[in-house]
Amino acid sequence: MANLYDGMEVEFEAVLVNESQRVPGVQYQQVSEKRYLTADHCRDDWQVELCSRHHPRRVAYRAPAAARAIAHAVERPGCVAGGFSALALYGMPFLVEGADTLLFYATSKNQLGGEQAPTVRRPSRANMDTWTLVHRGVSFRAAAPAEALVQALQQVNNGEHGWGVVSIVGWAPRDVMSLQLIDCARRFLGVTTREIQECARGKVNARWVKRLMSHSSGLADSPKETEMRLLVTALAKRYGYTVQEQVPFFVDGKLVTIFDLAIPELRIAVMYDGAHHLDWKQRKKDSSITIKMAAAGWTPARCATETMFECLELIEGIMQKVHASGPRE
């Protein structure tokens, strides 16, 4: 979890430069009107293409969201970075890329952003909780974490930013995205449920927020884990089982791994394998974990994005077999 506070330093490896600082022979990507980023600090082509596919205007952002937010903010003294842009500045590792840079600024009219220009909006009459952030000695303002989260929820609901989600019965795609967003803010930025509810009051539908909070968790390590939790929890409820999150697995008193989800009554462990599980060392570790789980009587239900529903079929098959064998004692 990030250590966030008003006055914090925003750090990242990339260096934003102006025209006079560009080095001959080095390839740059223009980020804003006056600032550039070296090409090797920009996002990979596949990441850019994936995000642009879900952008409402198909805008392709090569510069990372945090770099864009800083570049635009320092060029407009007095503005406030908000929504997904502010969340990126606070180090949110998921969901922020591909969104327009959002600035609140005393302007005569709102303007829609693009690859090298921010979306600029007049601040609402409601008081906005802001923090002062610092990057390489330059200070600027951003919406406080809970405030930025609520603004991002509004962006999702307005169709201004989105990403791919799986189909879940009883859940609209934007509601799934909003729940993922809340889970990430709780898990990685330390935003509390009380802060979210207080900040959301009068800004978004209270009944909608209450429903999301009742399904939210601060333990999900990725947006895909949020999806998997919704799917597995709904399935387990149909068969009368409980689901636990972040369950430690020990062998001879030594921690082997932590299951993303577990159904203790059936000794089923659910684990979502993200991209880092493709690493050779991680694959060897995963193989060892699977063997230890089998030896201890646990069924490993590992999945990736493409195999989530196969994983559900495995889990449901086990539940059906148990039910067919008679009532549980």
Tell me: the pLDDT tens digits for 51-70? 999 999 999 999 999 999 99
β-strand partners of 269: 262, 300
Q: Find out if CATH 3.30.1490 is the number for domain 225-324.
A: no
C-alpha span between 268 and 115 (Å, rounded):
46
pLDDT of residue 229: 96
In the chain, CATH 3.40.960 covers: 225-324
Report CA Rg, the chain: 22
Q: The tokens of 304 are what? A: 């990736």
Q: 94, 184 in Cβ contact below 8 A?
A: yes
pLDDT value at 125 more than 70: no
pLDDT value at 328 more than 60: no
pLDDT value at 153 more than 70: yes
Confidence band for 263, pLDDT divided at 50, 70 and 90: very high
Mean local confidence (pLDDT), 168-188: 97
Confidence band for 267, pLDDT divided at 50, 70 and 90: very high
Q: Burial level of 232, CB count in 10 A (0-12/13-18/19+)?
A: buried
C-alpha span between 102 and 14 (Å, rounded):
20
Q: In which residue are the tokens 């999945």 written?
A: 303
Mean local confidence (pLDDT), 164-193: 97
